[in-house]
Amino acid sequence: MKKMMLFVGWSLCPAVSFYLWCSQMAVQGGAITLLDISALMGYIAYAFFFLQTAVLLTFPWTEPVLGTSLSYRLQDRFALMALAALTAHIVLFASVYGKLPRGIYLWPAYAGIFLSLLNTAANFGYQAGLFSYELRQSIHKTNGAVFPLFFIHGMIMHRENLFSPFTMYLCALFLLWAALHGALSERKKRLIKESHKIIDVVKENHEVWTVLCEKNNFSYLPGQYAFVSTLHNGRISAPHPFSLTSHPGEKHLSFTVKWLGEFTSTIHHLTPGDHLIIDGPYGQFSFLNYKASEMVFIAGGIGITPLFSMLRYAHKVKSRHPITLLWGNKRKEDIIFRQELKQMTLDMERFKVVHVLSRDKSKRGERGHVDLDRIKKYVDHPFEAHYFICAPKGMRDDIIRGLLAWGVPETGIHPEKFSLP
């Protein structure tokens, strides 16, 4: 119901644009020209630019309803729709006059176009592996100026009739954008004020650290994640998404991080007394959201983190459900939490761990990669089990395709898709 109400509310933005344009055409009378259609495309582009921004600004409140993956997909779709309408707006105008308009009054529009294209390029560059997460996030900071620039452009174009219905519509969306921006800013200030003091930083192996911090009434489900910023020597880092490895019953929070990029490489420099700013929790990747008689956890490398939070919770509540962990790593020394996993196998009689190593020379255990053959070998009731998968995209997609082709119901396959390193 909440999701439907969100979609209805969002769909009103382009619908109102179209209604106001139709009303304007009815008053104007006569044949509809290419310039009229160009204006309509501009109005629709403005509406979709607002929606793109609104998805980001309302993320803390709408993500529990939509989910992380759908939220980001919607943001991308709205951005592409806005750019498509904007392109049509420009092309139709140029086809009438044979050239693009010039003048200082168009500078806000051209600046907005440039920033939109820059952010789109940053998204595709990151997905293609050309840009780092940190670089993409730095570029995304400019995205907040796009909608205000198009608002200024719209007001300039309607400067001779500042009290027309469409001008009121432009102002209403801008005021709503400002209110959302203000609410998000206040939330960020509160999160900084309520930051969590670091208790310890533990080295798990040569490239993985666990950061333990105060809990401060932070409630979450096992398997969820949060956006984490570090507060070190008075400097606040950009937020980065990490799954929690602690379970809700613990007195502290913990995040286990692998050295992958600019942000993660600084984790081991943190010391007790520094603070974490934690925005969350987010995500629906938790076995508590499903009724499963048997569970299969499939991890690739550091993808163990949300699954380990669930395992810790299952261990705490003495779960009697059959649980199989299939965990792929390169070498034996890459395996973290080894002793804790061993204790879990002793305490939970229906829990088994299968390590699959791709580059280890030892002859003990499984070699290669976690795949459908390993699942067939170790899972007792594969078509009744629920599969929770957190792994690199290629491995995750291959496993999902294999499970579906084998006949496992799609409703029993739960991949962690927010896929932000």
Residues 213 and 317 in one domain: no
Per-residue confidence at 265, pLDDT binned at 50, 70, 90? low
Q: 114: domain CATH number? A: 1.20.120.1770
Rounded Cα–Cα distance for residues 127 and 135 (Å)? 12
Residues 165 and 28 in one domain: yes
Residues 6+ positions from 27 with CB-CB distance below 8 Å: none
Which range has the worst mean pLDDT, 129-138, 152-161, 204-213? Answer: 129-138
Single pTM value for the model: 0.86
Residues 207 and 169 in one domain: no
Please tell me the total count of domains within the chain: 3
Average pLDDT over every residue of 256-277: 76
Indicate whether 261 pLDDT > 70. Answer: no
By percentage, how much of the chain surpasses pLDDT 70? Answer: 96
Out of 191, 226, 259, pick the residue that ends a domain. Answer: 191
Residues 177 and 234 in one domain: no
pLDDT for 191 equals: 93
Query: Using one digit for the tens of pLDDT, what is the confidence trace for 220-233?
Result: 999 999 999 888 77
Strands (E), 268-370: 275-282, 295-300, 323-329, 351-357, 366-367
Residues 262 and 165 in one domain: no
Residues 129 and 29 in one domain: yes
DSSP 323-335: EEEEEEESSGGG-
Indicate whether 105 pLDDT > 70. Answer: yes
Query: Using one digit for the tens of pLDDT, what is the confidence trace for 21-46?
Result: 898 888 887 788 998 899 899 999 99
Query: Using one digit for the tens of pLDDT, what is the confidence trace for 280-334?
Result: 899 989 999 988 889 999 999 899 999 999 999 999 998 888 999 999 998 888 8
Per-residue confidence at 130, pLDDT binned at 50, 70, 90? confident
Out of 258, 282, 306, pick the residue that ends a domain. Answer: 282
Strands 235-236 and 351-357: unpaired
Query: Using one digit for the tens of pLDDT, what is the confidence trace for 354-375?
Result: 999 888 776 667 788 899 999 9
Residues 198 and 187 in one domain: no
Residues 8 and 122 in one domain: yes
pLDDT for 315 equals: 94
Strands 275-282 and 225-232: antiparallel
Indicate whether 419 pLDDT > 70. Answer: no
Q: Which domain does 260 fall in, by range? A: 194-282
pLDDT for 129 equals: 72
Contact between 358 and 368 under an 8 Å Cβ cutoff? The reply is: yes
Rounded Cα–Cα distance for residues 68 and 120 (Å)? 19
Indicate whether 171 pLDDT > 80. Answer: yes
pLDDT for 263 equals: 55
Q: 266: domain CATH number? A: 2.40.30.10
